[in-house]
Amino acid sequence: MIYKYKTAQERNVGDNMKIKDLYAGKNMPMDFVIGKLNGFHGTFINEKNIKYYFIIDGKASVTINDETSEVEKGDVVLIPINAKHSIEGDVEFAIICTPSFDINSEKII
């Protein structure tokens, strides 16, 4: 099956980020979305999903628990289940969640 970026549904996630849903939905084995962030997205803990960020373009600061790292084009970030995490920057990135993202399992800190 083919999922087209051009026809993917776009939505706002907070004040500073837009998401394009390429492969996302309840009860799927994973979600694959493209995020465009300009600013700070917030601090979260997810009790169900492992998250991966693949940086497509731009730069950002990613904090996982108490460790902050600078990321740029080509970098991959792994966010384990139950890790406190945040991202800030001007960046386009693929977000992969496995299993599929469950908003009820994510808590804002």
pLDDT tens per residue across span 59-84:
999 999 999 999 999 999 999 999 99
Q: Inform me whether the pLDDT recorded for 49 exceeds 90.
A: yes
Q: Inform me whether the pLDDT recorded for 27 exceeds 90.
A: no
Specify the pLDDT at position 11: 96
pLDDT cut 70: percent of the chain above it: 100
Q: Are 90 and 45 in contact (CB under 8 A)?
A: no
Class of domain 10-102: mainly beta
Specify the pLDDT at position 28: 84
- What per-residue string of b and e applies to 47-68 under the rule 16 or more CB within 10 Å gives b? eebebbbbbeebebebebeeee
Specify the pLDDT at position 53: 98
Return the domain boundaries, the chain.
Answer: 10-102
pTM equals 0.94
First to last CA, the chain: 37
In the chain, what's the furthest Cα-to-Cα distance?
A: 40
